[in-house]
Amino acid sequence: MSRVAGIVAALILAAWSVSVAAADQPPRRIVALNWGLVDTLIALGVPPIAVPEATVYDRYVGGPPLDPDVVNIGLRMEPNLELLSALAPDLILIADEQEKLRARLERIAPTVNFTTFTADRRPWDNALKATRDLARLLGREAAGEELVADAEAAFSRVGSEMGGGSELPVLVVSFMDARHVRVYGDGSLPKEVLERGGLRSAWTGPTNAWGFATVGIEALAETPDARLVVIEPVPPGAKSTLDCNPLWRNLPFVAEGRTQTIEPALVFGMIPAAARLADLLADAPS
């Protein structure tokens, strides 16, 4: 988040906090344009009335499903502003990728930016602050602290189940197709989860602002002593193609059976996503 955007968000947050304290009426008709914020709102007990790309949300987030009555507001980067206005929300939540829409969104409702993935590459710390600020804004402080406690317990469990620092480093990937993966490293939520559980991330190569690099599967050979974790969903047809690919079959962690596939978890999410990822890692068969 830029410095100016951060100041604006802080001022709006402060104004809302004063309003909530005075009127005892925290916002409840909320639209979130970022899936991590949607996931967090649901976990705080204040589900949004509208979300972007609702038809595929459950496939990639893996958390509690959306309410069947939730309104699909369109694309994350191109929400339907006419529909959004008709919904008359109390509050709109965005992340940095929607900041360019702020002027138009502000004509509809107060808009607050809660961004997890920033230039400081500290998604857990940012998610922690954002969650506490959001919980305070909604009058759900106790629920916010419960989310934090649940995540920290999940981190401890993944460390215990996977053996802590004595185990092999962990390579976490998502398949883009049968030949390419996103591999998560510095600045990613998967790396934060691993390290907070006393584990090591195997990927030490460069990553983008979201903490991943898109590489061909041959690049995974650079970490032969790792344990591989694949996050679902795997694109249709990719698994059967991989099973016939000698390059894939001969990767040491594949040939030696050091691979696990886990259910979806939002790798670009916040505290609920981090806790879910830790639980899935802890429950993955060794």
The confidence score (pLDDT) of residue 163 equals: 65
Is 73 part of a structural domain of the chain? yes
DSSP state of 139: T
The confidence score (pLDDT) of residue 1 equals: 52
The confidence score (pLDDT) of residue 77 equals: 94
Q: For tokens 């401890």, what's the residue?
A: 156
The residue segments making up the domain with residue 154 are: 148-283
- What tens digit of pLDDT does each residue of 89-148 get? 999 999 999 999 999 999 999 999 999 999 999 999 999 999 999 999 999 999 999 999
The confidence score (pLDDT) of residue 263 equals: 95
Question: 108 and 164 share a domain?
Answer: no
Is 139 part of a structural domain of the chain? no
Name 215's bridge partners. 181
Q: What percent of the chain has pLDDT over 70?
A: 90
Q: What does each C-alpha distance from 44 to 41, 136, 187, 221 come to in angstroms?
A: 5, 11, 25, 41
Burial of 91 (0-12, 13-18, 19+ CB in 10 A): buried
Q: What does each C-alpha distance from 268 to 39, 103, 187, 191, 211 come to in angstroms?
A: 11, 25, 11, 12, 9
Question: 186 and 272 share a domain?
Answer: yes
Is 233 part of a structural domain of the chain? yes
The confidence score (pLDDT) of residue 22 equals: 45
- What tens digit of pLDDT does each residue of 212-270 get? 999 999 999 999 999 999 999 999 889 889 989 999 999 999 999 999 999 999 999 99
Among 71, 93, 115, where does a domain finish?
Answer: 115
pLDDT, mean over the chain? 91
Confidence band for 284, pLDDT divided at 50, 70 and 90: confident
Per-residue pLDDT, averaged over 66-83, amounts to 96
Question: 152 and 275 share a domain?
Answer: yes
C-alpha Rg value of the chain to the nearest Å = 20
Is 143 part of a structural domain of the chain? no
Is 181 part of a structural domain of the chain? yes
Q: Per the confidence metrics, is the pTM higher than 0.85? A: yes
Question: 167 and 269 share a domain?
Answer: yes
Model confidence at 18: pLDDT above 60: no
Is 173 part of a structural domain of the chain? yes
Helix (H) or strand (E) segment spanning residue 30: strand 30-32
CB 184 within 8 A of CB 145: no
Question: 107 and 158 share a domain?
Answer: no
- What tens digit of pLDDT does each residue of 76-93 get? 999 999 999 999 999 999
Helix 3-23 and helix 123-137, axial crossing angle in degrees, nearest 10: 30
Is 253 part of a structural domain of the chain? yes
The confidence score (pLDDT) of residue 160 equals: 85
Question: 111 and 164 share a domain?
Answer: no
Question: 199 and 156 share a domain?
Answer: yes
Per-residue pLDDT, averaged over 152-161, amounts to 91
The confidence score (pLDDT) of residue 182 equals: 98
- What tens digit of pLDDT does each residue of 185-206 get? 999 999 999 999 999 999 999 9
Q: What percent of the chain has pLDDT over 90?
A: 83
Model confidence at 20: pLDDT above 50: no
The confidence score (pLDDT) of residue 3 equals: 53
Question: 155 and 110 share a domain?
Answer: no
Count of domains for the chain: 2
Q: What does each C-alpha distance from 33 to 80, 93, 100, 217 come to in angstroms?
A: 11, 6, 13, 32
Strand, helix or coil at 93? Answer: strand
> Per DSSP, which regions of 95-238 are E strands?
111-113, 170-175, 180-184, 212-216, 227-231
Q: How far is CA 253 from the centre of its chain?
A: 26
Model confidence at 33: pLDDT above 90: yes
Question: 243 and 153 share a domain?
Answer: yes
